[in-house]
Amino acid sequence: MLTLYGTSFTSRLLLGTAQYPSPESLKLAVEASGAEIVTVSLRRESARARTGQGFWGLIEELGCRVLPNTAGCRTAKEAIATANMARELFGTNWIKLEVIANDDTLQPDLFGLVEAAAALSAEGFQVLPYTTEDLSAAERLVAAGCGVLMPWAAPIGSARGLINREALKTLRAYFPDIPLVIDAGIGTPSHAAEAMEMGYDAVLLNTAIAKAGDPVKMAAAFAKVVEAGRLAFEAGLIEPRDMASPSTPVAGTPFFKIDHAS
Amino acid sequence: MKILLNGEAFATDAKTLDELCAGLGFAEAKIATAVNGSFVAASSRGATSLADADEIEIVAPRQGG
């Protein structure tokens, strides 16, 4: 079971709700993924279009736990105000905290992130920070009150997979008791499997499913590998080795002779 | 009075944030608000007076990653 801030979930796949070809496709993809947590955002509401009102109806139909984000915020102040608006709107203390440093990489501004995480934790939020694999930032976030960390695998939407796997392994080893969710940069099911095999507690993705040729089928594929990767981690992976090691018993091999030449 | 509503110039006679929201047809809508960069709870909109050049944000749920 995945436990985040005291709530347990069967699925270890968290799914974003953006970029699907249609609302119907989003709904079917969420079902196929088995996700119990979906991310949402807040955007300016036009009095004429009232886009958000219809979207809210769709989200309620999904029946998932909602994790609002602060996507696009550039400062701690913006993120704090957005988190408060999200808490009122969605009725949850959970916030996927994003403070963005750079438009090209969409990498977290770790300084603003720690500042906002501390302020929001003090206001009773349960913060799920979108961070990097940086260990010192992770320590500051935990000290600020974060009970979950969500390091990126690669820049958002880049589909490059775990580009800094050694640091991600270190992070996992350093925080054995903090739920760690890989957030952003997952492009293929094998990327997700790798994260799960490394012992990450869950993966959060959006683009890899929403922009797939068939989002519903891809959601089903991710559901399978996330579960498989977790099972593999729990089973205990063997260590890689440089040289071959026969799997078939050597004893009793027909025609076997000791090679005296060597 | 001229305010900045969701980043655009907007003329209004509304005296409070609550009146502004109602005038836009948001009385019963699923929205959240901020004034000059700070969150204003739904319960505080009636007591939040508007002034010239105030920057108002009115947001609603949307797709997100």
Average pLDDT value for residue range A130-139: 97
pLDDT above 90 (res A33): yes
pLDDT band (50, 70, 90) for residue A262: low
| CB nearest B59 (choices: A18, A45, A47) | A45
- Lowest mean pLDDT across A103-107, B5-9, B53-57, B59-63: A103-107
Residues in chain B: 65
Q: So what's the pLDDT on residue A180? A: 98
- Inter-axis angle of helices A51-62 and A23-33, to 10 degrees? 30
Average pLDDT value for residue range A16-42: 97
For B17-45, the DSSP string reads HHHHHHHTT-TTS--EEEETTEEE-GGGG
Q: So what's the pLDDT on residue A257? A: 84
Q: Percentage of chain A surpassing pLDDT 90? A: 95
Average pLDDT value for residue range A205-218: 98
Q: So what's the pLDDT on residue B25? A: 95
Rounded Cα distance between A119 and A76, Å, is 9
Q: So what's the pLDDT on residue A99? A: 98
Smallest CA–CA separation between A49 and chain B, in Å? 11
Of residues A33, A116, A102, A34, the one with CA closest to residue A72: A102
Q: Chain A residue closest to B32 (CA)? A: A85
Q: So what's the pLDDT on residue A258? A: 79
| CB nearest A18 (choices: B26, B39, B64) | B64
What is the ipTM metric for this complex? Answer: 0.96
Q: So what's the pLDDT on residue B16? A: 97
Report, as residue numbers or ranges, the catalytic residues of A: 96
Average pLDDT value for residue range A31-51: 96
Q: So what's the pLDDT on residue A16? A: 97
Q: So what's the pLDDT on residue A256? A: 85
Q: So what's the pLDDT on residue A261? A: 61
Provide, as residue numbers in chain A, all residues whose Cβ is less than 8 Å from the Cβ of B62: 40-43, 51-52, 55
pLDDT band (50, 70, 90) for residue A244: very high
Instruction: Starting at the earlier edge strand, list the strands of the sheet with A94-97.
Output: A94-97, A126-131, A150-151
Residue A74, number of CB atoms within 10 A of its CB? 15
